[in-house]
Chains A and B, each alone.
Chain A
Amino acid sequence: MAKTTYYVPIGPIHPALKEPIRVEAEVEGEKIVKVDVKRGFAHRGIEYMGMKRNAIQTLYLSERICGICSISHPYAFVIGSEKALGIEAPPRAQYIRSIIAELERIHSHILWLGVIAHEIGFDSLLFWTWKGREKVLDILEAITGNRINYSMYMIGGVRRDLKESHIRALKDMITYYWEFTEHMKEVFLSDPVYEARTRGVARVPKDVALKLNLVGPVARAAGLRMDIRQDIPYDAYADIDVKAVVPQDIVGEARGDAYDVTMVRIYEIEQSLDIIEYCIDNLPEGRILTIPNYIALLNKIKKTEGEGIGAHEAPRGEVIHYFRYDGTRDGPAVWKVIAPSYNNINSWAYCLLGAEVADIPVVVGYIDPCMCCNDRIAVVKDSTGKMLDYSYIHKKAIEKTRMLEKELGVRR
């Protein structure tokens, strides 16, 4: 009997994906024999917009790059900006920043645990984990005023102070989550069905992880000890001596599959709880902003010439922002964002070859993909293969508008 292959297109819109990306797979029965990943469906031109605005507006814009790890981009932004300006945030602000970042790591990891449970068809677990996530979201709302986009960071500090009542609530939350992670370890790590669905799926060995340039929990699950908080310490992490969470330290060996990624993420929640505890116990007194007047800050940016790189370990991996201020305007002349999902999506093609159709959602889900962080540039070509630049597209758009006006008889 001749073997027939099916062409299975997954995406740009598919129930397993919450964001647009396309995976084209050739399937032979249940096995995938050929795979191609295409991205570029969510290009929004944020970097270009940021170069047209002033630095504070761009800071709020950077918060909108990603919906879930919304603090990671502003964090890298403020660190890079402070390096470019040559100022430093007060110690209290640095500690508050680290607390917020760790709170967000907790919420992002619990969200991912729910998503991966949904992908393997375990919806009860999704509801249960997300119910537990509400506690940390309430705390974040109490401190910053918002559940998702916190608008908390500012170049040279933070915008809101921690109060005594917040610290009490944080301590309650820490005890709650110690209990919750114990439950999660039981439910995820010792559940035979979960292990059967994730053990050996999406397996990336150590050398391949290095070759594919993976970052974050995915790389740590493969056994690479890499963590920005450990390698390039900043803010409160410099006082704490954070160690990267790797499976070797927990169970003795790293296999780099989806099960190990789950393990790394659950233990990272515990690490975050430790960091928050240290921060609230050793919270320094003092100001929370270096330059409280925003006009003065913008004027300083206007006069500054220099560049800076800010890096932060987001829940998904390292986020890097590069800046250059050229001393002519109050915003960045060059702004370059590197997001973790861009590196991690490289692993899909490797993992999907030879996998089964049933493993596609696990492979897609295990890196916690964020398509909005991905698309940096869109190359447009016309039918002759000529590259179209900005001015040409702009001209065409104006022509089309004029044509429409003529047709409808409208004059603006």
Chain B
Amino acid sequence: MTPETIFYAVGMPLIGVFLGLVYKGIDRRVSARMTSRIGPPIRQPFWDVGKLLLKETVVPANAVKWIFNAMPLLALASSMTLLLYIPFGIIKAPLEGYGDLVVILYLLTLQALAMAIGGFASGSPFSSVGAQREMVLMMSYEMPFAIVITGFALIYKSFSLSTIASTPVWTIVGPLGGLGVFLLLIVFLWVTPAELAKLPFDIAEAETEIAEGMLAEYSGRNLALFYLSDAVRGFAMIAIEVVLFIPFTLSYLFGLNLSGPMLYIAEGLWFLFKVLLFYVSAVTLVRTSFARFRIEQASKLFWVYVNIIALLGLLLIWVEVM
């Protein structure tokens, strides 16, 4: 039990929750401004969580009680663990050397799976339909996501995220490989809203169709935990995207010579700015300009079109590496 361990165990979740909720608030605000509304204040998600924590937690009579109560904790734990694998700017990831991109893939899946199992356990028909949809959607988007990760492993001969973050991907690939990586970026942008259950792929939580789907029976503390895990997952997913595709540091771009704490502060802020840029373009813009797909349309999109693009990108990279 070193002090570092304690800091990571206590500090990282707090930082993650704070950042996730702030980004959620910014997302809501920007979305409102895009649809000519005023929108909620940035601190609205904090109020939402606070209100939910004060509310009574209701467990339905025909639910499997222990699974129903355990799943929100599992979801939050998995998204918190996810944070520990992400290099924050130039700070190394706390759990570096204990896992890599494959573990990240599994943790992201685990979070969605926890929601689906919670939906099945709650015993409401709406939740069951929502959970079925979530499973189908997971089967659809995991394949392109895995292809993206395989492509990076081909380039770097390693699955480690720190290795990938240390050198920008664009500097070590040739023109063909560069095109391949660009195609993988497009695929990743398609996968992001599905992974985060946002429009146009919030099929599992369609409000007008199945009354919030898997979360229909959840309330109070359990719903707050799901809300938090969703916020943290949103931040973590975009952060992974930034680390993979635009890992350029401030010093590298502008040739600055910073040292000491100033360097860390500047690089941290720069990283957060990059995440904000990606968040607004990959989540908010898409969310406000698309209608919800039907589940079979979404599956077809991922299995056919997105997969073809992803495989094409992988092929180009493979040709380059060979």
* Chain A residues engaging chain B, CB cutoff 8 angstroms: 6-9, 14-16, 27, 29-30, 117-125, 127-128, 131, 191, 193-194, 196-197, 356-361
Among B40-48, B65-73, B122-130, B233-241, the stretch that binds chain A is: B122-130
Q: Beyond the given A121-B202, A127-B35, A128-B36, please list 11 additional residue pairs across the A-B interface where CB-CB is below 8 A.
A: A9-B125, A29-B132, A120-B291, A121-B199, A121-B292, A123-B35, A197-B292, A197-B293, A356-B295, A356-B296, A359-B294
Given contacts A6-B128, A6-B129, A7-B125, contact A121 B35 (CB under 8 A): no
Rounded to whole Å, the gap between the CB of A276 and the closest CB of chain B is: 27
Residues of chain A lying within 8 A (CB to CB) of residue B34: 124
Cβ B129 vs Cβ A117 within 8 A: no
CA distance A205 to B202 in the complex (A): 32
Q: Which residues of the other chain, A, contact B211 by a CB distance below 8 angstroms? A: 14-15
Q: Are A121 and B125 in contact (CB under 8 A)?
A: no
Q: Are B295 and A30 in contact (CB under 8 A)?
A: yes
Chain B residues with CB under 8 Å of A194's CB are 291
Asked if B49 is at the interface (CB within 8 A of a chain A CB), the reply is: no
Chain B 1-53 residues near chain A, CB threshold 8 A: 34-37
- Does B206 have its Cβ within 8 Å of any Cβ on chain A? yes
Contacts of A16 in B (CB 8 A): 208-209
Is A120's CB under 8 angstroms from B37's CB? no
Asked if residues A197 and B291 are in contact (CB atoms below 8 Å), the reply is yes
Chain A CB within 8 A of B252 CB: no
Chain B interface helix/strand/loop/mixed: helix
**Which of A9, A29, A117 is close to B291, meaning CB atoms less than 8 Å apart?**
A117
Instruction: Identify the interface centre among B125, B295, B296: most chain A CB within 10 Å of its CB.
Output: B125
The answer, yes or no, to whether B268 is at the interface (CB within 8 Å) is: no
Contacts of A123 in B (CB 8 A): 35, 288
Asked whether A15 lies within 8 Å of B207 as measured between CB atoms, the reply is yes
CB <8 Å contact, B207 and A197: no
Q: From the candidates A8, A30, A193, name the one contacting B125 in the complex (CB within 8 A).
A: A8
Contacts of A15 in B (CB 8 A): 207-208, 211-212
Contact status B126-A193, CB under 8 Å:
no
Whether A124 touches B125, Cβ cut-off 8 Å, given contacts A16-B209, A30-B295, A358-B209, is no
Given contacts A196-B297, A197-B294, A358-B203, contact A119 B125 (CB under 8 A): no
Looking at A6, A27, A121, A197, the one whose CB has the most chain B CB atoms below 10 A away is A121
Interface residue from A14, A131, A357 paired with B36 (Cβ < 8 Å): A131
Q: What are some 18 contacts across the A-B interface (CB < 8 A)?
A: A7-B125, A8-B125, A15-B211, A16-B209, A30-B295, A120-B208, A120-B291, A121-B206, A121-B207, A124-B34, A127-B37, A128-B36, A356-B295, A357-B129, A357-B210, A358-B295, A359-B294, A360-B209
B289, CB-defined interface residue at 8 Å: yes
A118→B208 contact, CB < 8 A:
yes
Number of A-B contacts (CB under 8 A): 82
Checking B206, B288, B296 against A124 with a beta-carbon cut-off of 8 angstroms, the contacting residue is B288
Q: Which of A6, A9, A14, A120 contacts B292 (CB 8 A)?
A: A120
The chain A residue sitting closest to B211, CB to CB, is A15
CB nearest to A127 among chain B residues: B35
> Residues of B contacting A197 with CB < 8 Å?
291-294
CA distance A128 to B126 in the complex (A): 30
How many angstroms between the C-alpha atoms of A92 and B37 in the bound complex? 41
Shortest Cβ distance from residue A189 to the other chain B in the assembled complex, whole angstroms: 14
> Is B178's CB within 8 Å of the partner chain A?
no
Residues of chain A with a CB closer than 8 A to B295's CB: 30, 356, 358
Determine if A8 and B126 form an interchain contact, defined as CB atoms under 8 angstroms apart.
yes
Do residues A358 and B294 form an inter-chain contact, with CB atoms below 8 A? yes
Known contacts A16-B209, A29-B132, A357-B209; A124/B35 CB under 8 A = yes
- Asked whether, in the complex, the Cβ of B209 is within 8 Å of the Cβ of A193, the reply is no
**Cα of A194 to Cα of B297 in the assembled complex, Å:** 12
- Given A16-B208, A193-B200, A196-B297: A122 in contact with B292 (beta carbons within 8 A): yes
8 A Cβ contacts from B196-240 to A: 199-200, 202-203, 206-212
Chain A residue, CB-CB nearest to B290: A193
Q: How distant is the Cα of A27 from the Cα of B129 in the complex, in angstroms? A: 9
List A contacts of B290 (CB < 8 A).
122, 193
Question: For the complex, what is the distance from the CA of A359 to the CA of B297, rounded to whole Å?
Answer: 13
Whether A119 contacts B293 in the complex (CB less than 8 A), given A27-B129, A128-B35, A193-B200, comes out as no
Whether the pair B35, A193 counts as a contact (CB closer than 8 A) is no
Report chain A residues within 8 Å CB of B132: 29-30
The minimal Cβ–Cβ distance linking B36 to chain A, given in whole angstroms, is 6
User: What is the bound-complex CA distance between A88 and B84, given in angstroms?
Assistant: 81
Nearest-neighbour CB distance to chain B for A262, whole angstroms, equals: 13
Residues of B within 8 A of A124 (CB): 34-35, 288-289
Q: Is the Cβ of A121 less than 8 Å from the Cβ of B129?
A: no
Q: Which residue of B lies closest to A25 (CB)?
A: B125
Instruction: Give the distance in Å from the alpha carbon of A6 to the alpha carbon of B206 in the complex.
Output: 18
Cα distance A360–B206 in the bound complex, in angstroms: 12
Alpha-carbon gap, A21 to B290, bound state (A) = 29
| Cβ-closest chain B residue relative to A121 | B292
A residues less than 8 Å from B202 (CB atoms): 121
When the two chains form their complex, are residues B129 and A8 in contact, meaning their CB atoms are under 8 A apart? Answer: yes
Residue numbers in A under 8 Å from B297 (CB-CB): 196
Across the interface, which residues of A come within 8 angstroms of B199, CB to CB?
A: 121
* B-chain residues with CB within 8 Å of residue A29 when the two chains form the complex: 132
**Nearest CB on B from A327, distance (A):** 52
In the bound complex, CA of A118 to CA of B206 (Å): 11
- Name the A residues within 8 Å of B294 (CB-CB): 196-197, 356, 358-359
A131-B36, A193-B200, A356-B294 as given contacts; A119 in contact with B208, CB under 8 Å: yes
B265-322 interface (Cβ within 8 A of A): 288-297
